[in-house]
Amino acid sequence: MIRYIIQRVLAALVTIWITTIAVTLLIHAVPGDPVRIMYAKFQSTPEQIEAVRIALGLDQPIYIQYGLYVSRLFQGDLGRSIVGDQPVLDILLTRFPPTLLLATTSLVIAVVIGLSLGFLAAYKRGTVIDVGAMVLAVLGVSIPHFWLGLLLLFFFALQLGWLPVAGSDLRSLILPALTLGLANAAVLARLTRSAMIDIFDQDFVRTARAKGLPKTMVLYRHALRAGLVPIVSMMGLQFAYMMGGAIVVENVFAWNGVGRLAIEAVFARDYPLIQGFILFFATVIVLVSLVIDLLYAVLDPRIRYS
């Protein structure tokens, strides 16, 4: 188990390291002169643009640039945003928590609804309930989540007036979290269903039932525990999807997270901010996946005792 932990932590660190490289290279993939593009807004003189180029280290060879980037990183300097000239780190630290909140809440909703639905479908396999649940799930997977968001906005906020259209408080969290959660609940429902069916078919379940254990005990203690394993292993991926989906959903509900920030940055060609955003985003996902993987190790006896 220790070996597993060390392996996973190392893998995570390597991933983050490669991310820093990729992010440094990003600015070079831009056709044309990135500094001119970035600073176009300020109508700077050629001398000023050169000064910026030197300050960003873009006149140096790539490996020195990378070194500069990493050393600044360790000092907490992610550069400054082009628009408004604020430190990228500060901007990200302010705008990331709302997105995290949205992603986490949506994940909870998706897990609760998806797992229950999938479990139910597997339990009542072959019946109308199963078919009905899976039809819902397939629909849920097909609906664009921004459209679902607009529909929910239309019904609950505009027509019925039950919930706010936008805002930053907890009440305004409900609709975006529901939107993202429902869309992913469908995915989880399908996954859970097939995972559970596999479990139910397995020997140990039949053995437990043969031993005379009542149906409910069998389900809750053995099957669920076993079923959780592959599902937990998917959680890292699901969290990543949530974070990705939040980017679009935030836009529908004017939720003030990092998703809206990223879109604006792309429009504005704010490369320092985009670089910082990608680094932050990838790091968050890697760290969360790491935690989940370690949790998975705790749950899966095969790993625990290896």
Partner 1 sequence: MASIAPTTIAENVHGELAGFWLRLVKSPTGLIGLLIVLTLIATALFAVWIAPFDPLQMGAGPRLQPPSAQYWFGTDDFGRDLFSRVVYGARLTLQIGVIAVGISLTSGLLLGLVAGYAGGWTERVLMRLVDVLFSFTEIVIALACLAILGIGLTNAMIAIGIASIPFYARVTHSVVLVEKGKPYFEAGIAAGAGHVRMIFLHLLPNVVPTLIVVGTLGISTAVLAAAGLSFLGLGAQPPEPEWGFMLSSSRDLISRAPWMMIFPGSAIAITVLGFNLLGDGIREVLDPRQVMR
Partner 2 sequence: MGRPPTFITTPILALTAGLVAGSSQAADLVWARYGDIDSLDPHRATSTLSMQVWDQIYETLLAFDGEGKPQPHIAKSWVVSDDGLDYTFELQEGVLCHDSTPFDANDVKFTVDRAFDESNPSLTKTSWGPISAVEVVDDLTVKFTFESKFGPFLPFLADSFSSMVCDSNDPETFGSSTGIGAGPFKLVEWVKGDTVSLAKNPDYTNYGRPFDNKGPVNVDGLIVKTVPEAQTRLAGLTTGEIHIAEPPFDDIPAIKESGELEIMVAENTGQNVFWEFAISRPPFDDIRARQAVAYATDPELAIDIIYGGLSQREWCPIARGVFGNDQEFCAQYGYPYDPEKAKALLAELGYSTDNPLETTMFVWTGGNRHKLAEIFQNQLSQVGIKVAIEIMDIGTMNARVKEQNETTDETPGTFDMMTWSWYDPDILYALWHSPGAYSGYNTPELDVMLEETRTTIDPEARLEKVQAVIKHLMENAVHVGLYTPGWEWVFAVRPEVSGLKIGAFLHPMFNDVTIKE
| Exposure on the CB side of residue 121, measured as CA atoms within 13 A | 24
Angle made by CA atoms 4, 9, 13, in degrees to the nearest 5: 150
Say whether residue 289 binds partner 2 (CB under 8 A): no
Say whether residue 94 binds partner 2 (CB under 8 A): yes
Least distance between partner 1 and beta carbon 81 (Å): 14
Q: Which does 278 bind (CB under 5 to 8 A by kind): partner 2, partner 1, none?
A: partner 1
Segment interacting with partner 2, rule: CB under 8 A, options 69-77, 93-101, 223-231, 287-295 = 93-101
Q: Which does 9 bind (CB under 5 to 8 A by kind): partner 2, partner 1, none?
A: none
Say whether residue 109 binds partner 2 (CB under 8 A): no
CA distance 71 to 67: 6
Q: Is the Cβ of residue 17 or residue 147 nearer to partner 2 in the bound state?
A: 147
Residues 159-218 that bind partner 2 (CB under 8 A): 164-170
CA distance 290 to 141: 26
Give the residue, chosen from 83, 205, 229, 234, that forms a contact with partner 2 under the rule CB under 8 A.
Answer: 83
Q: Which does 194 bind (CB under 5 to 8 A by kind): partner 1, partner 2, none?
A: partner 1
Segment interacting with partner 2, rule: CB under 8 A, options 2-10, 20-28, 78-86, 133-141 = 78-86
Q: Is the Cβ of residue 103 or residue 208 nearer to partner 1 in the bound state?
A: 103
Segment interacting with partner 2, rule: CB under 8 A, options 39-47, 67-75, 138-146, 240-248 = 39-47
End-to-end Cα spacing for the chain: 6
Q: Which does 264 bind (CB under 5 to 8 A by kind): partner 1, partner 2, none?
A: partner 2
Placement of tokens 């932590």 in the chain: 9
Which of 256, 263, 252, 255 minimizes the C-alpha distance to 149? Answer: 252
Q: Which does 93 bind (CB under 5 to 8 A by kind): partner 1, partner 2, none?
A: none
Contact 272, 81 (CB under 8 A): yes
Strand segments, DSSP code E, in 158-278 are: none
Q: Is the Cβ of residue 185 or residue 208 nearer to partner 1 in the bound state?
A: 185
b/e map 257-274, b = 16+ CB within 10 Å: bbbbbbeebeebbbbbbb
DSSP state letters, 69-106? HHHHHHTT---B-TTT--BHHHHHHHHHHHHHHHHHHH
Q: Which does 81 bind (CB under 5 to 8 A by kind): partner 2, partner 1, none?
A: partner 2
Cα dihedral sign, 43-44-46-52: negative
Site residues, partner 2 (CB under 8 A): 40-43, 48, 81, 83-86, 91, 94, 97-98, 100-101, 157, 164-170, 254, 256, 261, 264, 267-268
